[in-house]
Structure 1
Amino acid sequence: MKRPQIVIALQVVFCMCILSSCVSRKEIVYFQGLEQAGERLEMNKDKSLKIKPNDLLTIVVSAPEQAAAMPFNLPVMGMPEKGDSGFSVTGRQQLQTYLVDAEGNIEFPILGTVNVSGLSRQDLQEKLKSEIREYVQEPIVNIRLVNFQVSVLGEVNRPGTFEIRDEYLTLPKALGLAGDLSIYGKRNNVLVMREDQGKKTYKYLDLTDPGIVDSPFYNLQQNDVVYVEPNRAQRQSASYNRNAGVYISIASVLVSLVVLITN
């Protein structure tokens, strides 16, 4: 075999060693054996968020006779906006919010101090309707949590903090908002950090395990932080190293030098 052919052969063998690797399905695929967890998914589906201190709520009360319900609503605020000329003009209107204090209370018109901590949105609706019904016939109460946010950090394609309009948010949905894990993210060691009743708690979850749906951290809560740890291999894809190009270039130079020296 001629020298140039030897060089090419060595380079090809070295490239194959660098690039090739065996990545098992177990390391990559989410929710393996999910067919065995169908019932548990249905059970977790109905979990609702619980109201906590520092939450911001909008509460709107209406009734067939709207004039009777008006005293139970906060005044609507006009939000200033800048026009093309640069002057501030009155723009869209915005509902005022109720801040849940450290004791879990809000100050509600007419009713006074109302404890809301630990209640779901539906529970609070029923509670307020029951109390307002003493003053107003057939009251309708609409409540929304307006500061429901989660942060997704680490080895995802679009890390950031996301505002959630729906009160039902699972870990997979949050990762979807962040563009899913990159190929460098550890799928079996995703950290969820949470603050509950003033205490910080956390849990590492395995996305490849269908039993993840049983974890209380599978359904995310307001202000949760999700962190995806980078894997050791840092693969550019399931079977390619992100530094493969550098290694190949170095290998080519070294092989060429060896051939020149031994020639």
Structure 2
Amino acid sequence: MLAGCAGDPPPVGSAPNSPVTALEALPRPEAGDVVRSTRLAFVGPFSELRVEVFGVPDMQRDVMTDGEGNFSFPLVGTVAAAGKTLNDVSEDIRARLAGRYIRDPQVTVNFKSSTNPLAVQSLAVTVDGQVNRAGAYPVVGRVTLMRAVALAGGVNEFAKLEDVVVFRNVGAKQYVGIYNLQAIRRGNYSDPEIFPNDVVIVGDSPARRQFKDILQVVPAFLSPLILLVREL
């Protein structure tokens, strides 16, 4: 049975009405992909922030968001910052202070970093799905798929190890790679490298369900499935 699975997969891209093209591997991102990604930076779990209310020394402090991207601030209470820009967080705090505590508060929020905060945020991989600590994690040195999952605290009890999806934008194209962590652990194929701005989803993801008809005939156990999904 395994010998039969080891054969070449069918030419997915040439199938009638196929919306995708099969490739041998995920292409490496280009330098321009990182540059484009630095236009906006979003707050996530464990982000270090500097919050300042002009003219109020007691309300100038460093904070760190928790695992869900929240933090507490005096007179405001809990601020849900995950997925918001710095301007969004500033406006949220300003609106809660205005009128009740300070007539016209001027609030600034910045990433607490000695380097360009937008660049720092861009050099990260996002790990989501059935992991213990979903979030964005810095890509320092060479990071593989197994390492990225480990940075997110490993998989939880509901994870499907055969359902691990990696999204990657290269140039004007979007790619998706579907991997099996059990197969990687067993040495059936190598642990793929992960790059900044990749999105890793562990579990029964919508991306895998979208390609369920293709997956029925592709030997995902002995090789990953790499697809060119669409032009951006």
* Higher helix fraction (1 or 2): 1
Greater CA radius of gyration, 1 or 2?
Answer: 1
TM bin (shorter chain): 0.3 to 0.5
What TM-score results when the alignment is normalised by the length of structure 1? 0.35
What TM-score results when the alignment is normalised by the length of structure 2? 0.39
